[in-house]
Amino acid sequence: MTLAKAYAAFAANTPLGPYEVERRAVGPQDVQIEIAYCGICHSDLHQVRDEWKGAKFPMVPGHEIVGRVTAVGAEVKRFQVGDLAGVGCLVDSCRTCPSCQRNLEQFCQKGAAFTYNSTEMDRKTLTYGGYSSSVVVTEAFVLKVSPKLDLAATAPLLCAGITTYSPLRHWNTKKGDKVGVVGLGGLGHMAVKLAAAMGAEVTMLSTSKAKEEDARKLGAHHFGLTSDPVTFKKLAGQFDLIIDTISAPHDYNKYLGLLRIEGAMVLLGVPPEPTPVAAGSLIFGRKTLSGSLIGGIEETQEMLDFCAEHNIVSEIELIPVQQVNEAYERMLKNDVRYRFVLDMKTL
């Protein structure tokens, strides 16, 4: 067992500060990673403020982890000391239930072990995340990271990347498909990049005209100003797929009207209140409204390989860990383009 430097939340709505966590000794199937960078996800903010309830303190957030392998267990086969590696939202699952057998560990029917504010599969040991100097994770949940990519900008791929890649793959996005992306933030900017790399014709759908220039730089071919009612008439029946990344309340029915017959709209954002959906919005056109979480380990590795092939990383602002509380406040004001990443060397 070793001690790792970290930043932790000690109670809801209090600033994060320095802390030390105990990391387990490297077992036969374990990989130890010296963390170089950790992305800040909006869910980190929800968790440390206990907005989703069930927070366990002290809490070390962070599930967008990249770094270098410093030790491996005797039975580890895919990694050796010095390799680049990553850890996303999951650190273990039961591996035997029907979901795990389908490589959908995120839906483990016995409850996956998440990277922080969760428990290991023994249901006793609390997990601590990537706002720390090191982590020990079983090999099956460690991901290979290509040296072709900027390491700091790769970190958010472990959540924002897979969260948007998974529905694009599930709905078989291909060259010539028309894809709409609702909201240009941490998730939305990745959805634009990935859909464009898959060959889709991408339209950014935003309430802010100021987002158009960035959207086009990121790969969007078109822009729809959704604060203008005319946009919904102009784009009616246009899209094969809509990726909705917005967590603020908005009218799903209006966006369902933008789908072609048998088109699909996938929800990634979680508004605080339920949103009414009219049956007619789905029935007239046999349209699909669905949701998506992250992805399993196999799909996450596929995403990282795809990003390496197409030179895709997140747009980031790299900050020292001591600025994490300021970053949280800026996130609430949407004052980041498009993801904060902590430089863990500053610990």
In the chain, where the domains are located? 2-159+313-346, 161-291
Confidence (pLDDT) at 295: 98
Euclidean distance between the first and the last CA atom of the chain, given in angstroms as a whole number: 20
- On whether the CB atoms of residues 307 and 193 are closer than 8 A, the answer is no
Confidence (pLDDT) at 300: 98
CB atoms under 10 Å from CB of 53, counted, come to 6
Confidence (pLDDT) at 272: 86
Which helix (H) or strand (E) is 328 found in, with range?
helix 324-332
Helix (H, G, I), strand (E, B) or coil at 24: coil
Q: In sequence order, what DSSP letters do the residues of 4-19 get, joined into one string?
A: EEEEEB-STTS--EEE
Q: Is the pLDDT of residue 115 over 90?
A: yes
Strands 288-291 and 259-267: parallel
Provide the token pair at 7.
């930043």
Topology of the domain covering 161-291: Rossmann fold (3.40.50)
Mean pLDDT to the nearest integer, 76-84: 98
**Domain spanning 2-159+313-346 has what CATH number?**
3.90.180.10
Confidence (pLDDT) at 239: 98
Distance CA 11, CA 8 (A): 9
Number of H helices, E strands in the chain: 11, 17
Mean pLDDT to the nearest integer, 189-195: 98
- On whether the CB atoms of residues 299 and 166 are closer than 8 A, the answer is yes
Contacts of 280 (CB under 8 A, 6+ apart): none
Quote the Cα angle for 198-202-205, to 5°: 140
Burial letters for 123-145: b for 16+ Cβ neighbours within 10 Å, e otherwise?
A: eeeebbbbbbbbbbbbbebbbeb
Q: How confident is the model at residue 266 (pLDDT cuts 50, 70, 90)?
A: very high
Confidence (pLDDT) at 64: 98
The values of phi and psi at residue 15, to 5°, are -65, 150
The single residue listed with the structure tokens 């071919």 is 221
Range in 10-14, 127-131, 200-204 with the lowest mean pLDDT: 10-14
- Please choose, from the candidates 130, 131, 49, the residue with its C-alpha nearest in 3D space to the C-alpha of residue 329: 49
Return the CA Rg of the chain.
Answer: 20
Mean pLDDT to the nearest integer, 40-69: 96
CB atoms under 10 Å from CB of 36, counted, come to 20
H helices present in 95-208, as ranges: 98-101, 151-154, 160-170, 186-197
The single residue listed with the structure tokens 């105990």 is 22
Mean pLDDT to the nearest integer, 117-137: 96
Confidence (pLDDT) at 74: 98
Q: Is the pLDDT of residue 195 over 90?
A: yes
Confidence (pLDDT) at 13: 84
Whole-number average pLDDT of the chain: 97
The single residue listed with the structure tokens 């004001």 is 333
Provide the token pair at 315.
């747009």
Q: Is the pLDDT of residue 1 over 90?
A: no
Distance CA 266, CA 252 (A): 10
Q: Is the pLDDT of residue 109 over 90?
A: yes
Percentage of the chain exceeding pLDDT 70: 100
Quote the Cα angle for 310-314-318, to 5°: 140
Mean pLDDT to the nearest integer, 252-278: 96
